[in-house]
Amino acid sequence: MLDKVNKLIIDVQAFNTKNKEEIEVFRIKYLGNKGILKELFNAFKGVDSTLKKDLGQALNNLRNTAVNKVNELKDDLTKNTTKKFVYGDLTRPSEAISLGSRHPIAIVKNRIVEIFSRIGFNISEGPEIEDDWHNFTALNLPKHHPARDMQDTFFIETDPAILLRTHTSSVQVRYMKNNKPPIRTISPGRVFRNEDISARAHCIFHQVEGLYIDTDVSFADLKQTLSYFTKEMFGKSKIRLRPSYFPFTEPSAEVDIYWGLETEIDYKITKGTGWLEIMGCGMVDPNVLKNTNIDPKKYSGFAFGMGIERIAMLLYQIPDIRMFYENDIRFLEQFKSVL
């Protein structure tokens, strides 16, 4: 009987499977109520007492080996399943990669740039930190000129003045200094004004300004160019120019587009008039041309400038300018479908 038990120990040690049912069959075979061990322990009772010591040890050994084997195989099984879980089902379709979206300011800027590039305007850029000359003096705003108060300025240094540009007209000054007419350029960029933040105004915003200088450029060219732009941008080409004042243009005008009065929102945003102010413009003041070494007797030109936030607010009916800078994903995601 001892030989039989030792042989069974070897069998048990050699047993292997990765199948849950087979493990259970094995367990019942050896350790079950009517299993081999039960049977052997029963037979053990009738064995001659001189043999009991060795046989008893062997039987205990067999039982422990079988118990360990079952536990070991079950452990392996759970390890295998976690391994499977890590790799997952490789045939499943993958999850969609979520795409980002452009910021509405970038979308509108790109559209404006694209519309003007179709009629031959290039893009020019300049520094956000400017000196007094490029931001003010060259633009016919000498020191102590009252019109400087129209654009509350963030100064970095006072003497000589270094500041955050208050408009992208400073880029046009640089462009005029470095290029000879004909000039057709638009300058998009970020500008800074020391203003209280509210639903309609922010101390940091974006502008696009345009400049056209050549021989015989007239006010009619300006009006034609702007109505082309408003048609492409808003699908509305009816505009009117109201006299206004900018130190760097003469004459100067404020541009309104006829928005219409079809919906309640139209009434609200146009204050019941149907007209909406969208930008400033004018004929470049001869002093500005002189300041940038362009001969005002030979050349003339027009300039215009608009706030990108304002245009975006109109296009997408955004009620509060602060939404552009909060980076709230729920706001930004709404522009996903727009290029």
Q: By the criterion CB under 6 A, which residues form the site for ligand PHE? A: 167, 169, 209, 246, 249, 280-282, 303-305
To ligand PHE, the closest distance from the beta carbon of 317 in angstroms equals 24
Between 12 and 208, CB nearer to ligand PHE: 208
SS3 of 198, please?
A: coil
Between 254 and 266, CB nearer to ligand PHE: 254
Between 104 and 301, CB nearer to ligand PHE: 301
Between 55 and 191, CB nearer to ligand PHE: 191
Q: What are the CA-CA distances from residue 181 to residues 213, 247, 289 (Å)? A: 6, 22, 11
Between 15 and 245, CB nearer to ligand PHE: 245
Quickly list DSSP for 118-156.
Answer: TTT-EE----SEEEHHHHTGGGT--TT-GGGGGS---EE
To ligand PHE, the closest distance from the beta carbon of 132 in angstroms equals 16
To ligand PHE, the closest distance from the beta carbon of 282 in angstroms equals 5
Element at 305 (helix H, strand E): strand 300-307
| Residue 73: closest CA among 117, 30, 127, 132 | 30
| Beta strand residue intervals within 137-233, DSSP E | 155-158, 161-164, 183-192, 204-214
To ligand PHE, the closest distance from the beta carbon of 338 in angstroms equals 26
**CA-to-CA distance for 95 and 91, rounded, in angstroms?**
12
Between 66 and 279, CB nearer to ligand PHE: 279
Between 26 and 248, CB nearer to ligand PHE: 248
8-state DSSP, 92: S
To ligand PHE, the closest distance from the beta carbon of 160 in angstroms equals 22
To ligand PHE, the closest distance from the beta carbon of 239 in angstroms equals 15
**CA-to-CA distance for 162 and 64, rounded, in angstroms?**
87
To ligand PHE, the closest distance from the beta carbon of 336 in angstroms equals 31
Region of 216 please: left (phi>0), alpha (psi -120 to 50) or beta.
left
Q: What are the CA-CA distances from residue 63 to residues 115, 153, 227 (Å)? A: 87, 90, 96
| Residue 40: closest CA among 26, 51, 53, 56 | 56
Residue number of the CB atom closest to ligand PHE:
305
